[in-house]
């Protein structure tokens, strides 16, 4: 099949706060609804020029970690009964139950303009032991029953074996009859739920019998799933642990393998549940893919629209981490093959399907909505030359030197890159300028190019380009230098090369976007605090403040003025106070992901400007496993470096390491810095 597809922004006048879902009410094409993670349902007219979105309802959702407002489903008889079902998390009663998942029914008094808080009827509640792996998607099936998918409850590797335990509701797909019974009844008969007849399971996961609510189990974190509107097939994207992502086609009574299996592979990263030794009959995924392609699958829909005829009947899904979008093609033997449609820079939290069958993409990072449209015959080839010398970014006489016009810069707190030294340059199109946000982050115009040389033991090994293309999307490209240092060749898809001293990782374009996050403004290091220091310019030998220099050559939309009025980030290994240097290190190496709206399941904010007590890390229990530390584990344990999961992640190179990719070498100086700082803490203030 030769479908060429791209994404096109729709409703460009609207931007949302961490959108997680978009949908329409059945039979009503006049309006769209967008769910925001914080708890609001926003409604707006189905008009390309729509400029306002009203709040249809605002729930008291707790959006800690992977919690928040997670799902919405209109009753099949919505036009007559005005019922809508919302799935969300609320604050739990104790640290051992930080969140409670809720499924609640609401009604509208005004044809969907608003949904009344006072009409709330709780249908199902579920205590959550951690703040990640909530699942929470909800939809009505073609059988008229309500389905809701829950993750395994969180932590790492599901050590409690929730997904294989049918006596609780974690790690399962549930099916409920919400039209009968109080608060619901269980589908029975030949096509009923597998454990129909048993007592309803309580919220506290204390049942002694298999839960009758369960339709299928063995799921880690079913993140977005849907029914094919033509066939009724239930397609589920199940987020993997450290190695594999999978797509499943769920059947009644199926066990999909977690935590015994990850994708089609045995799960061996931690000790699986005891049931793994005896449980047989796992249902294999339709497809899986490893983490060279992405790291967090996002389920979509089987396309049933008319704008993309070649896509009709194909399941479409994406990866939140890499931004890639795929379709599934039949392999001719009863199975499927994933075929990439487009590689985006979007943080795809979900797809939306209009009543007309067209597909949309929800970008949680940028807060915008996109539609899948015809790509106009795009070939999918790389938009940059194979040789660095042909890019125009380097000197024609010496490719190891920048082209004329590129502006050198340096940062106060460099990112750890396995001991490499780095040289940096930037270039923006003539007639454009850089704007600076209230937080000091730079926003660059389309056409911007950032270039960075990497040297190991003084030898030039890699050059990376980070470019903002004319459509506004950022993309990263990496080049491997030849032994003569005369030119460098584009590396497609990333690779690792053994050097005389270490294994050097060339990241893929997807890897670049996993660190250069939308939440951090994509262009890392280029912010006021990082550049507010003196720098010696090699071309002139003069030393001057970088911010002042950039201001003088009119690169900023609004002049910055006196650098003394701008924030300053210290050198982590300089002479500033220990706490300031440690926080600068975390800002550079961690905060691009660990910040508000960042792509991680944790709720930490490790920006330098955030007070320690407000980081969500100090004296906080870990949200993704204790790494064997035990009950004393905290993300940052004041005065106890050995009990601090944050330090343990920095001081390892395995599936639980931080930074999570593109590094094989531990930063021993950084480990010592953070260890000394944690040991010096007496409180979180």
| CA 552 – CA 571 distance, rounded (Å) | 25
Is residue 433 classed exposed, middle or buried when 0-12, 13-18 and 19+ CB atoms within 10 A define those classes? middle
> Does the pLDDT of residue 377 top 60, yes or no?
no
- Nearest residue to 162 (alpha-carbon basis) of 273, 75, 311: 273
What share of the chain has pLDDT > 90, as a percent? 84
> In this structure, are residues 85 and 108 in contact, taking their beta carbons and an 8 Å threshold?
no
* 41 and 69 Cβ atoms separated by less than 8 Å: yes
Tokens describing residue 526: 């280029």
Question: Can you point out the beta strands (E) in 257-396?
Answer: 261-262, 265-266, 287-290, 297-302, 315-319, 324-330, 336-343, 348-353, 359-363, 368-374
What is the pLDDT, as a whole number, of residue 382?
60
Q: Which of 36-40, 152-156, 488-492, 551-555 has the highest mean pLDDT?
A: 36-40
Average pLDDT score over residue span 554-580: 95
Of 442-451, 515-524, 535-544, 558-567, minimum mean pLDDT range: 515-524
Least confident stretch, 185-199, 235-249, 366-380, 659-673: 366-380
Confidence band (pLDDT; 50, 70, 90) for 274?
low
**How does 381-399 read in b/e, with b if 16+ C-beta sit within 10 Å?**
eeebeeebbebebbeeeeb
Token pair belonging to 389: 């010398």
Whether residue 280 is predicted with pLDDT greater than 70 in this model: the reply is no
Angle of the 578-589 helix axis to the 668-680 helix axis, nearest 10: 130
- Facing residues of 238 across strands? 222, 246
Residue 392 has pLDDT above 80, yes or no: yes
Residue-wise pLDDT for 53-62, tens only, equals 999 999 999 9
Q: Say what the pLDDT of residue 613 is.
A: 97
Judged by average pLDDT, the poorest of 7-11, 29-33, 494-498 is 494-498
**CA 259 to CA 271: how far, in whole Å?**
9
Residue 306 to residue 356: CA distance in whole angstroms: 8
Q: From 594, 619, 618, 598, select the one nearest 607 (Cα to Cα).
A: 594
Percentage of residues of the chain with pLDDT beyond 70: 97
Question: pLDDT value at position 279?
Answer: 59
Rounded to whole angstroms, what are the CA distances from 570 to 222, 408, 529, 574? 42, 20, 8, 7
Give the per-residue pLDDT at 601: 66
Domains assigned to the chain: 57-329 (2.120.10.30), 382-569 (no CATH), 577-685 (no CATH)
With beta carbons less than 8 A apart as the criterion, state whether 454 and 420 touch: yes
Total H helices, total E strands in the chain: 7, 38
Per-residue model confidence (pLDDT) at position 272: 73
In this structure, what DSSP letter does residue 180 have? Answer: S
The pTM score is 0.69
Q: 194 falls in which pLDDT band (50, 70, 90)? A: very high
For all residues of the chain together, what is the average pLDDT?
Answer: 93
Give the three-class secondary structure for 73.
strand
- Identify the pLDDT of residue 497: 92
Q: Which residue has the higher pLDDT, 485 or 1?
A: 485
Kindly tell me if the per-residue pLDDT of 345 is higher than 80: yes
Q: Can you tell me the mean pLDDT for 373-395?
A: 80
Give residue-wise pLDDT tens across range 300-338: 999 999 999 889 999 999 999 999 999 999 877 778 999
């Amino acid at each position: 099949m030769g479908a060429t597809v791209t994404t096109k922004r729709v409703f460009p006048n609207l931007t949302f706060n961490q959108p997680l879902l978009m949908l329409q009410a059945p039979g009503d094409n006049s309006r769209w609804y967008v769910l925001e993670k914080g708890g609001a349902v926003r409604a707006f007219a189905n008009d390309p020029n729509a400029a306002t979105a009203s709040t249809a309802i605002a729930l008291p959702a707790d959006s800690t970690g992977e919690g928040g407002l997670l799902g919405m489903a209109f009753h099949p008889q919505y036009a007559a009964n005005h019922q809508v079902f919302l799935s969300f998390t609320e604050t739990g009663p104790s640290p051992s139950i930080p969140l409670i998942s809720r499924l609640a029914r609401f009604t509208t008094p005004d044809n969907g303009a608003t949904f009344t808080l006072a009409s709330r009827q709780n249908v199902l509640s579920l205590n959550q032991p951690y703040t990640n792996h909530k699942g929470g998607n909800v939809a009505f099936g073609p059988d008229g029953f309500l389905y809701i998918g829950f993750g395994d409850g969180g932590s790492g590797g599901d050590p409690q074996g929730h997904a294989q335990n049918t006596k609780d509701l974690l790690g399962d797909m549930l099916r409920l009859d919400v039209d009968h019974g109080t608060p619901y009844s269980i589908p029975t008969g030949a096509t009923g739920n597998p454990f129909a007849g048993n007592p309803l399971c309580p919220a506290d996961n204390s049942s002694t019998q298999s839960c009758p609510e369960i339709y299928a189990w063995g799921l880690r974190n079913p993140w977005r799933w849907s029914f094919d509107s033509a066939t009724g097939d239930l397609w589920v994207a199940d987020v993997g642990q450290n190695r594999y992502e999978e797509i499943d086609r769920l059947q009644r009574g199926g066990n999909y393998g977690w935590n015994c299996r990850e994708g089609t592979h045995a799960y061996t990263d931690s000790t699986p549940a005891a049931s793994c030794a005896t449980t047989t009959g796992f249902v294999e995924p339709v497809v899986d893919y490893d983490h060279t392609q992405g790291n967090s699958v996002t389920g979509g829909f089987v396309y049933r629209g008319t704008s993309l005829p070649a896509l009709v009947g194909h399941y479409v899904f994406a990866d939140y981490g890499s931004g890639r979008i795929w379709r599934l093609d039949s392999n001719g033997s009863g199975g499927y093959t994933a075929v990439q449609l487009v590689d985006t820079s979007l943080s795809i939290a979900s797809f939306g399907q209009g009543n007309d069958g067209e597909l949309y993409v929800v970008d949680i990072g940028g807060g915008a909505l996109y539609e899948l449209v015809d790509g106009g015959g795009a070939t999918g080839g790389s938009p940059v030359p194979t040789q660095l010398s042909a890019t125009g970014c380097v000197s024609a006489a010496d490719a190891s030197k920048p082209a004329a016009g590129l502006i050198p810069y340096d940062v106060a707190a460099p990112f750890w890159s396995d001991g490499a030294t780095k040289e940096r340059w930037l270039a923006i199109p003539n007639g454009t300028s850089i704007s600076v946000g209230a937080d000091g982050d730079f926003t660059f115009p389309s056409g911007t190019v950032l270039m960075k040389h990497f040297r190991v033991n003084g030898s030039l090994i890699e050059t990376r380009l980070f470019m903002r293309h004319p459509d506004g999307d950022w993309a990263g490209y990496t080049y491997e230098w030849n032994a003569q240092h005369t030119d460098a060749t584009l590396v497609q898809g990333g690779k690792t090369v053994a050097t005389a001293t270490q294994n050097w990782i060339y990241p893929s374009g997807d890897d670049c976007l996993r660190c250069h996050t939308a939440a951090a403004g994509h262009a890392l290091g280029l912010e006021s605090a990082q550049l507010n220091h003196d720098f010696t310019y090699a071309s002139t030998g003069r030393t001057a403040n970088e911010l002042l220099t950039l201001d003088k050559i009119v690169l900023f939309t609004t002049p910055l003025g006196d650098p003394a009025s701008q924030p300053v980030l210290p050198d982590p290994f300089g002479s500033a106070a220990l706490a300031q240097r440690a926080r600068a290190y975390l800002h550079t190496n961690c905060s691009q992901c660990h910040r508000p709206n960042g792509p991680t399941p944790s709720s930490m904010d490790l920006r330098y400007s955030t007070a320690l007590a407000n980081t969500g890390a100090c004296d906080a229990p870990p949200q993704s496993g204790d790494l064997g530390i035990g009950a004393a584990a905290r993300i940052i344990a004041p005065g106890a470096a050995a009990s601090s999961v944050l330090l343990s992640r920095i001081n390892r190179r395995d599936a639980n390491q931080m930074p999570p990719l593109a590094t094989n070498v531990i930063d021993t100086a950084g480990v010592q810095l953070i260890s000394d700082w944690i040991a010096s803490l007496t409180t979180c203030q």
